[in-house]
Amino acid sequence: MHDPPAEPLHIGGLVIEVRPVPGRKSVRVTVERDARIVAAVPAGTDHMTLEKLVRSRLPWLYSKVRSREAEVEHRPVRRFVDGEGFFYLGRSHRLRIVGAAPHPVALAQGRLQLRRDCADIASDVLVAWYVERGRHWLPRRVGPWAKALDAPPADLIVRPLGYRWGSCSARGALNIHWAVMQLPPALVDYVLVHELAHMHVPNHSPEFWRTVCRALPDYEARRQRLEEWGAMIWLPSAS
């Protein structure tokens, strides 16, 4: 259970959402994929300490916000019509509208089938399909990485996370965005390792990246590819 959000900070023309998190030991500042800046802070963090830290990161924040804004502006629009492409585990599958089928959405013969009577709620049923696929596929995928990092998760939850790929709770549960199911498996692995590493190191310090590197020596290349894929995947207006 998180504390209610604190008042946002206004620094250098930026607005920083402040989220006190019980049990958190350090401040984590992130730029979400919709360009919002979020600071997850230990409960009771004083205003001056947070402001000083944010000011020290202003050049990075300006650069990251510009990048995120450009990404949002150029995100391709998907339509629910025959032939439209949607990614699943890194491969693009053409949409096929079908008249009768046992499920609203199904992957069959290399095509992503959408039942015609679900056309009005196509976005909802497609998200539900990605969630269900993630619930079956991700636990098997995360197991070996959890052992490698000595960080077995208490639980793995697939759900909407706004513009975050994942998060790690204080009790060790992994929250993974359903949209990761659109990524190639190698990038899904990066998301999983990233969140598992946060069980040991809650911030993005050099120690954190060393932890990631022990599991994924090529993590920098994967991180760059994830940035590129983030601009290509499908997200509904409320993700």
Name, in order, each residue with C-beta under 8 angstroms of 180's C-beta and a sequence gap of 6 or more.
Answer: 134, 138, 165, 166, 187, 188, 191
The pLDDT score that the predictor gives to residue 186 is 97
Are the CB atoms for 37 and 65 separated by under 8 Å? yes
Query: Is the four-CA dihedral 229, 77, 141, 172 of positive or negative sign?
Result: positive
- CA–CA separation, 21 and 177 (whole Å): 20
The pLDDT score that the predictor gives to residue 170 is 65
In angstroms, the Cα distances linking 149 to 61, 139, 142, 201, 226 are: 29, 15, 11, 12, 21
The pLDDT score that the predictor gives to residue 72 is 64
As to burial, measured by CB atoms within 10 angstroms (0-12 exposed, 13-18 middle, 19+ buried), residue 90 is middle
Are the CB atoms for 45 and 90 separated by under 8 Å? no
The pLDDT score that the predictor gives to residue 1 is 37
The pLDDT score that the predictor gives to residue 206 is 85
Residues of the chain predicted below pLDDT 70:
1-5, 70-75, 153-154, 170, 237-239
The pLDDT score that the predictor gives to residue 77 is 79
In angstroms, the Cα distances linking 236 to 44, 48, 77, 80, 193 are: 35, 38, 9, 12, 26
Are the CB atoms for 42 and 19 separated by under 8 Å? no
Residue in 172, 220, 162, 232 with CA at minimum distance from that of residue 197: 172
pLDDT digit string, tens, across residues 7-31: 888 898 888 888 887 777 788 888 8
Beta bridge partners of 93: 86
The pLDDT score that the predictor gives to residue 2 is 41
pLDDT digit string, tens, across residues 49-93: 899 989 999 998 888 888 777 666 666 778 999 999 999 999 999
